[in-house]
Amino acid sequence: MKPFAFAFLAGLVSALGFAPLGWWQLTLAAFAVLAWLVETAPGLRAALARGWWFGVGQFALGLNWIATAFTYQSAMPAWLGWVAVVLLALYLAVFPAMAAGLAWRWHKGHRLVLVLLLAAAWIVTEWLRATLFTGFAWNPVGVALLPTSASWLAAWIGTYGLSGVAVLAGGAFCLAFGTRFEKQAAGALVLAIAGLSVAAWAVHPGPLGGEGARLRIVQPNIRQEDRWTADKEERNFYRYLRMTGAPTREPRLILWPEAAVPYNLHDGEAPRTIAAALGPRDLLLTGGIEPATPPPGVAFAEYNSLYVMDPGGRILGRYDKAHLVPYGEYLPMRPLLSAIGLSRLAPGAGDILAGPAARTLDLPGFGRAGIQICYEIIFSGQVVDAANRPDFIFNPSNDAWFGAWGPPQHLAQARLRAIEEGLPVLRATPTGISALVDAGGYVLHSLPLGAQGVIDARLPPAVAPTLFARFGNLLPFAFMLLLVAAAIAVGRKTR
């Protein structure tokens, strides 16, 4: 088998560690293969190419759910979804290629140095992938470690640092087939990762139940094709109202998904109807659409918003989604791309406009909520207003167009945010997976895909700010520098 084909196959295998399969052992094995492929590359161009083909395989399989999104719009043919998956994979593979090229360029013939540098480079290039051109942070390699105790290392070194740990662990398997020194180094790496993982697990509490505020998370199981149909809007709205349930003696925090209400919430009948469904001390957090002034060249514009509504139907606060989905919520280079027949995947001829960055909303009687709408939750280090730390994060979402693989991957990344920040995460989606996640990343309650139901539970407590909550993405970069320093030291000692 040609090395490039072998690299592509290894990339495909690496994606099997992501949700919904969760075969993390295969992800580590795939990185052992990648380390070997990079080490044996005859030159820099070959190393770059092998890293690139590995990335193509990983992203093409891991992001297959994007193709499903194209089946929910009529402006473009559905088969274009698979073209989009391939094109996106070809672009995103540039980042693994850079990591492979950097490791090959500086390893100087030492396998252990290569493994250390590959892990360090992966941290940097994964951060770049999440940052450049608005970023696409989906499926960081570290998320494959979520079923293991190593996942709690995210509280110390963040998701990108956790990805470096995954690459190190895979590289240790590669070292195990080397010289006596490399075998000893492999054992030392495995022991260090295992020891630190156990230490992180030992200091990380969970699962954390709680006696906090009473919650009701509503999942109505409204399919994507039924969400934006005018003749079904009223029926959908009243399904939310019915599932909100009768008021109780105790105040409730009721959570509806992203864009749950298609009506104007500032006046008209909708606020009065919502008020009639709430108890005298209830609060509602619901997604909705806020009208906006369109920029030049756009027919209309709006904000993807989250509203806090009191029992009188009044709006107490609003958050506008800040990190938007390219092609999903707005069309980049609209004059050019619309001229050749491309459009947004979500319905609408106009664009969603971006709001300000992460913001904390005060909820009288229920504490403080950090809001991250749908896609925003995947960006490590960007989900909390550090100047006004919330008591929990609410992640209203619409995963109905994400296929079978997208929703469990989305939930997995939300769990990493809980671990990183030491905060519970509440998710409400129309079709699943809605969930209540505690501050240690444990899923306390969830509703599966395609199910109608509610989660009635208590809000679990936040924990003291984690190391990552205090210092953010400085920590994975510090870990990266430590790996580089170790590589330099090893290189000098073995010279």
Does residue 326 lie within any of the structural domains?
yes
The verdict on 183 and 112 lying in the same domain is: yes
Q: Are 263 and 225 in contact (CB under 8 A)?
A: no
Query: Residue 191: what pLDDT?
Result: 94
Which residue type sits at 19? A
In this predicted structure, the answer to whether residue 265 has a pLDDT above a threshold of 80 is yes
The C-alpha atoms of residue 18 and residue 98 are separated, in whole angstroms, by 22
Catalytic residue from among 321, 329, 376, 420: 321
The verdict on 246 and 349 lying in the same domain is: yes
Among 222-236, 248-262, 409-423, whose mean pLDDT is lowest? 222-236
The verdict on 116 and 258 lying in the same domain is: no
The C-alpha atoms of residue 348 and residue 471 are separated, in whole angstroms, by 40
Does residue 467 lie within any of the structural domains?
no
Among 22-26, 108-112, 231-235, 424-428, whose mean pLDDT is lowest? 231-235
286, β-bridge pairs = 307
Q: Are 371 and 402 in contact (CB under 8 A)?
A: no
Query: Residue 133: what pLDDT?
Result: 86
pLDDT tier for residue 355 given thresholds of 50, 70 and 90: confident
Does residue 351 lie within any of the structural domains?
yes
pLDDT tier for residue 379 given thresholds of 50, 70 and 90: very high
Catalytic residue from among 39, 182, 258, 421: 258
Among 66-70, 439-443, 478-482, whose mean pLDDT is lowest? 66-70
The verdict on 58 and 163 lying in the same domain is: yes
The region, left, alpha or beta by phi > 0 then psi within -120 to 50, assigned to residue 353 is beta
321 is catalytic: yes
Does residue 143 lie within any of the structural domains?
yes
Cα end-to-end distance, the chain, whole Å: 34
pLDDT digits (tens, 9 = 90+) for 136-158: 999 999 999 999 999 999 999 99
pTM of the model: 0.92
Mean of the per-residue pLDDT values of the chain: 90
The verdict on 250 and 397 lying in the same domain is: yes
How many structural domains are present in the chain?
2
Catalytic residue from among 374, 376, 420, 421: 374
- Write out the DSSP string of 88-123: HHHHHTHHHHHHHHHHHHH-TT-HHHHHHHHHHHHH
The verdict on 223 and 336 lying in the same domain is: yes
Query: Residue 154: what pLDDT?
Result: 97
Query: Residue 63: what pLDDT?
Result: 95
Query: Residue 339: what pLDDT?
Result: 44
Query: Residue 76: what pLDDT?
Result: 59
Q: Are 431 and 227 in contact (CB under 8 A)?
A: no
The verdict on 274 and 170 lying in the same domain is: no
The verdict on 233 and 352 lying in the same domain is: yes
The verdict on 425 and 358 lying in the same domain is: yes
pLDDT tier for residue 350 given thresholds of 50, 70 and 90: low
Handedness of CA 154, 160, 165, 166 (dihedral sign): positive
CATH (domain of 258): 3.60.110.10
How many CB atoms lie under 10 A from the CB of residue 291?
Answer: 12
User: In the numeric block, which tokens belong to residue 358?
Assistant: 């992460």
Does residue 66 lie within any of the structural domains?
yes
pLDDT digits (tens, 9 = 90+) for 150-200: 999 999 999 999 999 999 999 999 988 888 988 998 999 999 999 999 998
In this predicted structure, the answer to whether residue 340 has a pLDDT above a threshold of 50 is no
In this predicted structure, the answer to whether residue 57 has a pLDDT above a threshold of 70 is yes
Query: Residue 382: what pLDDT?
Result: 94
The verdict on 140 and 272 lying in the same domain is: no
The verdict on 332 and 196 lying in the same domain is: no
174 is catalytic: no
Write out the residue range of the structural domain in which residue 366 sits.
Answer: 214-462
493 is catalytic: no
In this predicted structure, the answer to whether residue 72 has a pLDDT above a threshold of 90 is no
Does residue 468 lie within any of the structural domains?
no
In this predicted structure, the answer to whether residue 349 has a pLDDT above a threshold of 80 is no
pLDDT tier for residue 86 given thresholds of 50, 70 and 90: very high
Which residue type sits at 142? G
pLDDT tier for residue 495 given thresholds of 50, 70 and 90: low
Strand 283-292 versus strand 252-255 pairing type: parallel
pLDDT tier for residue 31 given thresholds of 50, 70 and 90: very high
The verdict on 269 and 402 lying in the same domain is: yes
Cα–Cα separations (whole angstroms), residue 297 to 304, 350, 393: 20, 9, 35
